Amino acid sequence: MSDFLEHITNKIEHATVVTDPWKYIVIEDFLPADIYYNFLDKHEKLDWEDLFDEESSWFTIKKPDEEMDILRGDLFTQLLFKKFNFEPINYTTKQSFKHDNSSNTLQVPHRDKGEFIMTLQVFLQSQCYTDGGTIVMSDEDTDIIELPLVTNSCTIFLTNNKSWHRVEQRNYERKSFLQRWIAT
């Protein structure tokens, strides 16, 4: 087992699954420092002005590096399926970098439903905030908790008809790496 896989396996095994109003995990210091800075460097090198989209700006990763391959790999995925008590299914993954700033409208209440089965987001910014992360909702109209926006924190959640969430525009710069698992 690689050092990186061992590190993230330990993080997942020691994480607590929050079940109310739906299943999610928040893990601080998710990536080892060298890998965090590698992801941040790749994010910083992108031309976000050219990639601008009104809601949020996205860049799809087509050539993942070794650590990104481990995150999309079967060992890590099966660990998450077990953690969430989710029956293993056939899947593929999509990895992206995301960038939000005061020019973006950000996300209205929604569910990452349909073909998506699970989402992982690692925040890559240098500034931390007590708010500004994902707002977990019990339904389309009811906020439960706004997660903090913390450097190198990771949020992982199952996507289903209950996983309502949104992001409030607070004029923060939000940089992240996302991975979504897609049923095949």
Cα separation of 121 and 108, whole Å? Answer: 17
Is 22 among the domain residues?
Answer: no
In CATH, what number is assigned to the domain containing residue 76? 2.60.120.620
Please write the tens of the pLDDT for every residue from 85-128: 998 889 999 999 999 988 888 788 988 767 789 999 999 988 99
Is 38 among the domain residues?
Answer: yes
Section 145-163 average pLDDT: 95
Write the DSSP string, the chain: --HHHHHHHHHHHHPPPB-SSS-EEEESS-S-HHHHHHHHHHHHTS-TTTT--SS-EEEE-SS--HHHHHHHSHHHHHHHHHHTT-----EEEEEEEEEE-TT---PPSEE--TTEEEEEEEE--S--EEEEEEEEEEETTEEEEEEEE-TT-EEEEE-STT-EEE----S--EEEEEEEEEE-
Is 19 among the domain residues?
Answer: no
Name residue, tokens 């439903």: 113
Please write the tens of the pLDDT for every residue from 2-54: 999 999 999 999 999 999 999 999 999 999 999 999 999 999 999 999 999 88
Domain residue limits at 122: 3-12+27-183
Quote the number of domains for the chain.
1
Is 17 among the domain residues?
Answer: no
Is 64 among the domain residues?
Answer: yes
Is 98 among the domain residues?
Answer: yes
Is 20 among the domain residues?
Answer: no
Helix (H) or strand (E) holding 52: none
The pLDDT of residue 180 is 96
